[in-house]
Amino acid sequence: MSKTLFEKIWEPHVIDQIDNDLALIYIDLHLVHEVTSPQAFEGLRINSRTVRKPNLTAATIDHNVPTSDRFNIKDPIAKKQIETLRANCKEFGVPLYDIDNINQGIVHVIGPELGLTQPGMTIVCGDSHTSTHGAFGALAFGIGTSEVEHVLATQSLVQKKPKTMAINVNGDLPFGVTPKDLILSIIKRIGVDGGTGHAIEFRGDVFKKMSMEGRMTVCNMTIEGGGRAGMIAPDEKTFEFVQGKKFSPKGSNLDKLMDIWKDLYTDENAEFDTNIDIDCSNLEPHITWGTNPGQVAGINSSVPDPESYSTPEEKSNAQNALNYMGLEAGQRISDIKLDRVFIGSCTNGRIEDLRAAANIIEGKKIDKNVRAMVVPGSGLVKMMAEKEGLDKIFTESGFEWRDAGCSMCLGMNPDILVPQERCASTSNRNFEGRQGKEGRTHLVSPEMAAAAAIEGHFVDVRNWK
């Protein structure tokens, strides 16, 4: 029988079919960070339970960590949370990539770097952007802390089988248009809850041509369209990426796994519950103007008029967003002036993103009214970038060059916006207050963020010198 990629991963992982919809599935990899795990470890202690498979579990410190002077954490509550993770990892035998380790970084950046993330796996983490790992043809999704405890104790999880959605993208990305622009345009099309209840497979030649980093950017933001998981069928690029890393499979295990991996694609006649067709050949760089990632406009357009929406709900959503963002209907997107620029996050904090941004700014100075910051996604990304001299390009043009972490994507560390500050950000969420109370976030690609830092306002990076 013809099967989708999702079904080829889901079915062999079912340990126990609980009822028609719910199943107990085995979890191949559990990633852990400091914010969503303390209560789970405490639950284990209260019930005298252990971590069933410490070797299928990996922890790091990313959300709270300062990106400068990082060994001196001044916030006592953040410090306690970090120390709690250290103590828990020690007590339960979970490997920890601590701040002093080159492999420390954003949990979704280090999984692939370490070779932990592999095709065909089930991967969970107490973090909604776990969907990132779907770029490797894995079934990866975010869970809450109670579920974190469940996976720690049983290496399995009770899950409702999601429906399947195919997002078929036709055409090639035009010059200067990035995977970030593509996923923003997809979210605009399906809406912030368009993917709810679905595992989404991204299909089309554009993904075959895309780098692994680009695929991760797309799958990362699946959750912003409500998707339970995002995935892309693995190919030669994937198989090459996952080899030669610390945890890459070797010898006969690799041979056995490769046989499985090569069958991880949707069969020709397999059916999806929902199909969406999108053409990307005329796509332009995209920017969010509102307070959710579906409120998106092209660089050459204007802030939309709330009255142009069809339902009262959409009208009021748009009006609320404009009020919060301090924007007016009809204002040109390219006229929006910026105070801050943030390049980093699990969406766009990998080496390819840093190279792309550095390429734009090389030899130029940032606008005098802009404060700009680069936060590499991991210690390894930072090291690679420094080897290539990217840090110099950034600092010479006026960017701050920081240490790895989640940083201003969610502002749990000291990197936050002050009220009314406006930021071009390569991260994933433009929710109210996300980067700081009353801060105003515009989501963009690294290239668009870099050019905006130089000009002090948004520009079309395709015809900008």
Partner 1 sequence: MEVFLNHKGLVAPLDLANVDTDQIIPKQFLKRIERTGFGEFAFFDWRYLEPGVPDPNFILNNNRYKGASILVAGRNFGSGSSREHAPWALLDYGFKILIAPSFADIFRTNCFQNGILTISLDKEKVDYLMGMASSPKYTGYQLEVNLENQVIKDQNGFSEKFDIDAFRKESLLKGQDEIGRTLTSEDKINNYESSRIDRW
Task: Tell me which of 45, 256, 337, 365 binds partner 1, using CB under 8 A.
Answer: 256
- ∠ CA 135-138-142, rounded to 5°: 90
CB of 20 to partner 1, least distance (A): 9
19, two tokens: 């009822």
Contact criterion met (CB below 8 Å) for 428 and 349: no
Distance between alpha carbon 343 and the CA centroid of its chain, in Å?
Answer: 13
Only one residue has tokens 């390569």, namely 426
By the 10 Å C-beta count (0-12 exposed, 13-18 middle, 19+ buried), 311 is classed as exposed
Residues 12-51 that bind partner 1 (CB under 8 A): 15-16, 18-19, 21-22, 24, 26, 28-29, 35-36, 38-39, 42, 47, 49
163 binds partner 1, rule: CB under 8 A? no
Nearest distance in Å: CB 385, partner 1: 27
Cβ proximity to partner 1: between 17 and 359 the closer is 17
Q: Applying CB under 8 A, which of residues 110, 121, 166, 218 lies at the interface with partner 1? A: 121
Regarding 57 and contact with partner 1 (CB under 8 A), the answer is: no
Residue with smaller CB distance to partner 1, 152 or 453: 152
Q: Evaluate whether 198 touches 228 at the Cβ level (below 8 Å).
A: yes
Tokens linked to 141: 């999704």
Half-sphere exposure of 17 (CA within 13 A, CB side): 6
- Please state, in angstroms and rounded to a whole number, the distance separating the CA atoms of residues 264 and 139: 11
Is 75 an interacting residue with respect to partner 1 (CB under 8 A)? yes
Strand pairing class (122-125; 163-170): unpaired
> Which helix (H) or strand (E) segment is 251 a member of?
helix 251-261
Candidate ranges 75-83, 94-102, 396-404, 444-452; the one touching partner 1 (CB under 8 A) = 75-83
Q: Does 411 bind partner 1 (CB under 8 A)?
A: yes
Distance CA 25, CA 8 (A): 13
Instruction: Give the per-residue contact string, 301-320, with partner 1 (x = CB under 8 A; - = no).
Output: ------------x---x--x
Of 102, 192, 329, 384, the one binding partner 1 by CB under 8 A: 192
Please, what is the end-to-end C-alpha distance for the chain in angstroms?
A: 54
Residue that has been written with the tokens 């005329």 in this structure: 282
CB closer to partner 1, 214 vs 225: 225
Q: Binding partner 1 by CB under 8 A: which of 249, 306, 414, 456?
A: 249
Candidates 100-108, 137-145, 263-271, 332-340: pick the segment binding partner 1 (CB under 8 A).
Answer: 137-145
User: Which residue number, 246 or 368, has a Cβ lying nearer to partner 1?
Assistant: 246
Does position 134 bind partner 1 by CB under 8 A?
no
Residue 248 interacts with partner 1 (CB under 8 A): yes or no: yes
Residue list 338-367, contact with partner 1 (CB under 8 A): none
Interstrand relation of 286-288 and 371-374 (parallel, antiparallel or unpaired):
unpaired
Q: Minimum distance from CB of 461 to partner 1 (Å)?
A: 28
Q: Of all helices (H) and strands (E), which one includes residue 57?
A: strand 57-60
For residues 178 and 108, give the distance between their C-alpha atoms in angstroms, rounded to a whole number.
20
Identify residue 19 by its one-letter amino acid code: D
Total number of residues that touch partner 1 (CB under 8 A): 77
Task: Give the residue, chosen from 102, 153, 383, 384, that forms a contact with partner 1 under the rule CB under 8 A.
Answer: 153
For residue 76, give Cα distances in angstroms to 96, 99, 421. Answer: 21, 17, 26
433 interacts with partner 1 by CB under 8 A: yes
145 lies in the site for partner 1, by CB under 8 A: yes
Q: Does 456 bind partner 1 (CB under 8 A)?
A: no
* x-marked contacts with partner 1 along 267-306 as a string, rule CB under 8 A: -------------------------x--------------
**Cβ closer to partner 1: 126 or 376?**
126
What is the length of the chain? Answer: 465
What token pair was written down for 409? 């994507």
